[in-house]
């Protein structure tokens, strides 16, 4: 539903069915153990963008999720128990010709106790094209389409440099 709203807000809703047809989902639960008082580590999950098209996150009362703003500052996300957080991933970034940025996020230690989170990761399976609505004189094509999302995942899991860079999409396309 949230994804449909994004499509509508960019005026590309006629492409929804094509993208939805190649969507698949992975549901993952994460348990973060209690902070070790003797350790200096402040990061629970290193900064990254998700590889997927979109992510929906839910967590218990222990906070820690942060999202990076354009100016580089980290913003604390303190969701209420009923909140779900919706984020764009790398595949949405490429599909939208960078009109939608992938959300750079991390999890820091915050408060006591175990932290639990649940994420639904939605991937596009196979090749995707950029909607023409995203391309004009001001926004020239940034990538080689069609974008093969399976090859991107394969690249990410096999190429060491992919995990070290802030922008693995750049490394994948060599741009
Ligand atoms: O645990 C969280 O809130 C975030 C997890 C996350 O970023 C991920 O699994 O990609
Ligand atoms: Fe993530």
Tell me which ligand sits closest to the C-alpha of residue 57.
1
Ligand 1 pocket member 119 (CB < 6 A): yes
Q: How far is the CA of 65 from the centre of ligand 2 (A)?
A: 10
| 23-173 CATH choice from 2.40.50.1020, 3.60.15.10, 2.60.120.330, 3.40.50.300 | 2.60.120.330
φ, ψ at 174 (rounded to 5°): 65, 40
Residue with tokens 């003797």: 38
Q: For residues 127 and 84, what is the distance between their CA atoms, to the nearest angstrom? A: 29
Q: How far is the CA of 137 from the centre of ligand 1 (A)?
A: 36
> What pLDDT digit, counting tens, does each position of 105-153 carry?
999 988 778 999 999 999 999 899 999 999 999 999 999 999 999 999 9
* Nearest ligand 1 atom, CA 115: 1
> What pLDDT digit, counting tens, does each position of 82-103 carry?
999 999 999 999 999 999 999 9
Quick check: 102 and 90 in contact, CB under 8 A? yes
Count of CB atoms situated within 10 Å of the CB of 60: 15
Please name the residue ranges forming H helices in the chain: 2-9, 16-21, 90-95, 149-158, 160-164, 168-173
Q: How far is the CA of 94 from the centre of ligand 2 (A)?
A: 17
> What pLDDT digit, counting tens, does each position of 11-43 carry?
999 999 999 999 999 999 999 998 787 877 889
Name the residue at shortest CA distance from atom 9 of ligand 1.
Answer: 119
Residues 116-136 as b or e (16 or more Cβ within 10 Å = b): ebebbbbbbeeebebbeebee
ipTM (interface predicted TM): 0.98
**What pTM, to 2 d.p., does this model score?**
0.94
């Amino acid at each position: 539903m949230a994804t449909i709203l994004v499509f509508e807000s960019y005026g590309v809703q006629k492409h929804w069915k094509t993208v939805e047809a190649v969507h698949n989902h992975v549901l993952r639960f994460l348990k973060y153990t209690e902070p070790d008082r003797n350790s200096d580590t402040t990061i629970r999950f290193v900064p990254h963008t998700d590889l997927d098209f979109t992510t929906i996150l839910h967590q218990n009362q222990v906070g820690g999720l942060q999202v990076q703003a354009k100016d580089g500052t980290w913003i604390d996300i303190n969701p209420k128990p009923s909140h779900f957080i919706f984020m764009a991933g790398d595949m949405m970034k490429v599909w939208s010709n960078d009109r939608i940025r992938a959300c750079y996020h991390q999890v820091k230690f915050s408060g006591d106790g175990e932290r639990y989170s649940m994420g639904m990761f939605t991937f596009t399976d196979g090749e995707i094209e950029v909607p023409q609505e995203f391309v004009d004189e001001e926004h020239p094509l940034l990538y080689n389409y069609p974008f093969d999302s399976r090859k991107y995942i394969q690249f990410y899991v096999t190429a060491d440099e992919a995990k070290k860079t802030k922008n693995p999409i750049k490394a994948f396309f060599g741009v």
